[in-house]
């Protein structure tokens, strides 16, 4: 999906998890459409810098922030507003995917669930709430939530239960906000990618392992990160507001509902 190079000119996007994976590719797509980009990262500043390197200095802001607590999420929102530009779009991309082994030690299970819920639901939910109140008061604004196909069908990997459940929870919260604030000009879109060839989906896998995963998918390949990023950029234009509340599947027919 190719956008005009000025499709997002004048619009300011707060993107979480901008330093790598889908987030970094999305940052580049937003930059290519001439958005103002506020790129949040946790530890990898260099990756975030690279992701927005094509933008002039006055169109980008990098913010180091944790998202594991509501307070940290609210601090991120306030820091973003301090840039002095009205925020038009929030893209909730940052997430964790901890192991929660069914047959492992209790403390590993408990810690994995705690981390997934804190970052993917509680922190992300607090940030979304800040955006909802801001956008509703202004009368316009867009939220794009990166969920997962695992949120729709459960995880296919038994030891990654917390990730699937957390992504289902944040999707449900997004739908609730979409339903209740549509008349105030809020647009909320949820993306549910399948296996993407970037970030957590391929972390630690060599080429042969990645190919084995791809061979098991309907298209015989993973979802390209560029496909997800370009869809995020399109939704950020608010060109189709009646899509608000929708969950868009991006999985190459590997899961059809």
Distance CA(85)–CA(74), nearest Å, equals 17
pLDDT in tens, 208-224: 778 888 888 899 999 99
The reported pTM is 0.95
pLDDT in tens, 47-87: 999 999 999 999 999 999 999 999 999 999 999 999 999 99
Residue 164 or 210, more confident? 164
pLDDT band at 206 (very low <50, low <70, confident <90, very high): confident
Q: What is the pLDDT of residue 212?
A: 82
How many other C-beta atoms can be found within 10 angstroms of the C-beta atom of residue 84?
A: 7
Residues 197 and 148 sit within 8 Å (Cβ to Cβ)? no
pLDDT in tens, 219-239: 999 999 999 999 999 999 999
Q: Which residues lie closer than 8 Å to 77 by C-beta, 6 or more apart?
A: 14, 127, 130, 131, 134
- Could you tell me the strand order of the sheet in which 12-15 lies? 60-64, 36-41, 12-15, 89-92, 141-146, 186-193, 247-250
Instruction: Please identify which residue in the block is written with the tokens 């997430």.
Output: 95
Collapsing DSSP to helix, strand or coil, 129 comes out as helix
3-class SS letters over 58-89: HHEEEEECCCCCHHHHHHHHHHHHCCCCCCCE
pLDDT at 180 over 90: yes
Q: What is the pLDDT of residue 208?
A: 79
Instruction: Please identify which residue in the block is written with the tokens 């103002």.
Output: 36
Read off the pLDDT of each residue in 8-27 and give the average, rounded to a whole number: 97
Q: What is the pLDDT of residue 215?
A: 85
Q: What is the pLDDT of residue 87?
A: 98
pLDDT in tens, 118-154: 999 999 999 999 999 999 999 999 999 999 999 999 9
Collapsing DSSP to helix, strand or coil, 198 comes out as coil
Backbone angles phi, psi at 215, to 5 degrees: -65, -25
């Amino acid at each position: 999906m190719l956008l005009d190079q000025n499709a997002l000119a004048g619009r300011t996007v707060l993107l979480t998890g901008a330093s790598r994976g889908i987030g970094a590719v999305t940052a580049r797509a937003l930059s290519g459409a001439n958005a103002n980009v506020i790129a949040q990262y946790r530890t990898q500043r260099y990756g975030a810098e690279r992701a927005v390197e094509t933008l002039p200095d006055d169109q980008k802001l990098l913010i180091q922030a944790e998202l594991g607590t509501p307070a940290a999420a609210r601090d991120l929102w306030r820091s973003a507003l301090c840039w002095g530009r009205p925020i038009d779009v929030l893209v909730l991309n940052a997430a964790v995917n901890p192991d929660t082994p069914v047959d492992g030690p209790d403390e590993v299970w408990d810690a994995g669930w705690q981390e997934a819920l804190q970052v993917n639901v509680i922190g992300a939910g607090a940030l979304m709430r800040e955006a909802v109140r801001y956008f509703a008061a202004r009368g316009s604004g867009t939220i794009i939530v990166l969920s997962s196909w695992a949120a729709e069908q459960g995880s296919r990997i038994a030891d990654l239960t917390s990730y699937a459940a957390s992504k289902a929870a944040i999707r449900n919260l997004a739908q609730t906000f979409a339903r209740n604030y549509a008349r105030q000009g809020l647009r909320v879109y949820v993306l549910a990618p399948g296996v993407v060839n970037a970030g957590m989906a391929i972390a630690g896998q060599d080429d042969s392992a990645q190919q084995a995963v791809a061979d098991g998918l309907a298209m015989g390949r993973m979802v390209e990160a560029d496909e997800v990023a370009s869809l995020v950029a399109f939704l950020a234009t608010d060109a189709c507001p009646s899509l608000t509340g929708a969950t868009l599947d991006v999985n190459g027919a590997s899961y059809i509902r």
